[in-house]
Amino acid sequence: MKWHDTDPSNGALVVADAPGGLPPLVRHYLERALPAGGVLPGQIRITQTGEMWREPGARAMRFRAVQHFAVDRVGFRWEARFPIAPLIALKVTDGFADGKGLLRVQAFGLPLQRYAGHDVDVGEASRYLSELVWVPAAIAANPQLEWRAVDARRVEVATCVDGERVALALDFDASGAIVACSASARARTVKGGSVPTPWGGEVTDYRVLGGIWMPTRAEVYWDLPEGRFVYWRGQITGAEALQEPFGP
């Protein structure tokens, strides 16, 4: 049974109590994360700063980014600027729309790298699932998400991509906040190929931004045989609920 996403009388978001719907952990999380009586937005826009590492021991690459999330379906667009020299920067676009993922790198308006295909589709859909902490309205209203309680502190969220079920775990702390996500295997690019590798992320420092209670710090990592490799670390600097529909 699908969740009823709005109250027809006023358009306000309603988290309905329906069999087979959201697990109690998630329902309680939404009661805190979503503004009371809020209207269902078309998308959420966040701004970020942070740093990334290409490989263990590499130099940190700083970035500023703007990210748009779809609320009614699995979709997002991340546009980041990485300064590499005075007046020179790489522009990276990472996203998922209409069932397809895309990663593109540009400089001076010219394409340098472009990645697409099944592994990219699955990887970008996984990214959307892992970042639902920044778009709780989608937790309540996105019909493309499937939820399952695992235990007292963990739930699984999944979606379907190219006929494949893509899932990851969300962990909650004693206060009911989402604090981590993980997948037992996710495709990691290695020398032009891909290797299934344990993957995860952690979020902290919950605050209210744009009327939404959300974590404002995060890091993402691969669990490699030689140890954990944190390759992304960022801070959310702003958030805004927009009424216009998400577009690629």
Check residue 191 and give its pLDDT: 82
Q: How many domains does the chain have?
A: 1
Check residue 70 and give its pLDDT: 98
Residue 121 lies in a domain: yes
Check residue 50 and give its pLDDT: 98
Q: What is the mean pLDDT of residues 40-57?
A: 96
Residue 17 lies in a domain: no
Residue 196 lies in a domain: yes
Q: What is the mean pLDDT of residues 24-32?
A: 96
pLDDT at 54 over 70: yes
Structure tokens at 5: 């996403």
Check residue 35 and give its pLDDT: 84
Query: Long-range contacts for 113-121 (Cβ within 8 Å, ≥24 apart)?
Result: 118/162, 119/187, 119/194, 121/96, 121/161, 121/162
Residue 154 lies in a domain: yes
Residues with Cβ within 8 Å of 180's Cβ and at least 6 positions away in sequence, in order, are 170, 171, 200, 201, 202, 203
Check residue 73 and give its pLDDT: 97
Alpha helices in the chain (DSSP H): 24-33, 118-130, 136-141
pLDDT tens by residue, 156-184:
999 999 999 999 999 999 999 999 999 99
Mean pLDDT of the chain: 91
Residue 13 lies in a domain: no
pTM as predicted:
0.91
Which 3 state secondary structure label does DSSP give 127?
helix
pLDDT at 16 over 50: no
Strand-pair category, 178-190 with 193-209? antiparallel
pLDDT at 8 over 90: no
Residue 68 lies in a domain: yes
Q: Kindly report the CATH number assigned to the domain that includes residue 150.
A: 2.50.20
